[in-house]
Amino acid sequence: MSKWNLIIDLENCTNCNMCVLACQDEHVDNTFPGYAEEMPKHGSRWIEIMRKERGQAPMIDVAYLPVMCQHCDDAPCIKAAENDAISKRDDGIVIIDPVKAKGQKQLVESCPYGAIWWNDDLQLPQHWIFDAHLLDDGWKQPRAASVCATEAIFAKKVDDAEMAKIAEAEGLEVLSPEHGTKPRVYYKNLYRYNKCFIGGSVAAENNGTADCVKDASVKLLKGSDVIAEATTDVFGDFKFDRLDENSGGYKVEITADGFGPKSVDVELGESVTLGDIYL
C-alpha cells in the first residue's frame, strides 16, 4: 500500500525557518485529540534546522539540515514505549499517543535522532506528527512542505517499491543509516552536510601580478590511485567533494600548459581550502 515519505533537498534549504514556524503555528496552543497535545511556545523544536559550515575563506559553503521525527519503520521509540504508547499507522506515520505516553520520559532518549521532545508542563514526550491530522483531512502535503518557498521539502505517498526506485534514481539517503531504523525521511545532496571537500585556486605570477590559471588539470590522489580529476574554472578554482571526514592523506597534483607541475599534500580531517597555489 502507499505510505508517506518526506524528501528534503539540502541544496535548496536556505534556513528560512518557514517549516519551523509553520509547525509552531499549527501546534502551539492547539490540541488535536488522538494526534498531539499542544506544543510548548518555547523550548521545543519539533522541526530543527542544523547548520554545517565547510572549508575556510575564501572557499566556504554552508548547508542546512532540517531534522524531525524520521517516522522509522523500525522505530526504537516504539520498542521503548510502555502500554503501546507509540504506534505506526498503515500509511507509515508514527504517532505518540498523547494520553498513553504521559510520564514516559524514557522515550526522549530512545530516539537516536534527538527528535522526541519533552513537554515539561504536560509531562509528555512529543514529536513532529507529519501533520497527520491535516493529511487525514484531505491535505496533500504537510504544512512544512506547503510553506517551503524553495521546494526543499516535499512529501510523497507511494508504495515502498516505488519509493526505493525514487531513492535510487535521485540519489536519496537517510540520516545515520548505521542505526538501522529504516527512516521514511530521505535527504538529497546530504554530502553537503556529512562529507568533506578539498579545494583551492591555481594562480601564476605575471609581471608582478597574480593571474588565475584557467583550464589547469588537477588530480586528487590517495596513495598511488587517482580518485578524482578536475579542471580549474575561469577563476582558477577547483574542488573535490564528497570525501570522508578524517580520511587521512591525499595529494593534489596540478599541471597546466606553459608551467611546471605542482603538488600539494593534504591531511584531511574536515574540509580544507588550500588557498592560492602558485605554479
pLDDT, tens digit, for every residue of 116-154? Answer: 999 999 999 999 999 999 999 999 999 999 999 999 999
250-278 core/surface letters (b: 16 or more CB in 10 A; e: else): bebebebeeeeebeeebebeebbbbeebe
CA–CA gap between residue 101 and residue 83 (Å, rounded): 8
210 pLDDT band (50/70/90 cuts)? confident
Query: For the whole model, what pTM was predicted?
Result: 0.92
Residues of the chain within CATH 3.30.70.20 domain(s) are: 3-193
C-alpha cell at 272: 580544507
C-alpha cell at 261: 607541475
Q: Residue 208: pLDDT above 80?
A: no
Span 196-278: which CATH code?
A: 2.60.40.10
193 pLDDT band (50/70/90 cuts)? very high
Contact 113, 6 (CB under 8 A): no
Residues of the chain within CATH 2.60.40.10 domain(s) are: 196-278
What is the model's pLDDT at position 151? 95
CA–CA gap between residue 238 and residue 247 (Å, rounded): 20
Span 3-193: which CATH code?
A: 3.30.70.20
Q: What percent of the chain has pLDDT over 90?
A: 97
Residue-wise pLDDT tens digits, 1-31: 899 999 999 999 999 999 999 999 999 999 9
Q: Give the rounded distance of the alpha carbon of 93 from its chain centre.
A: 20
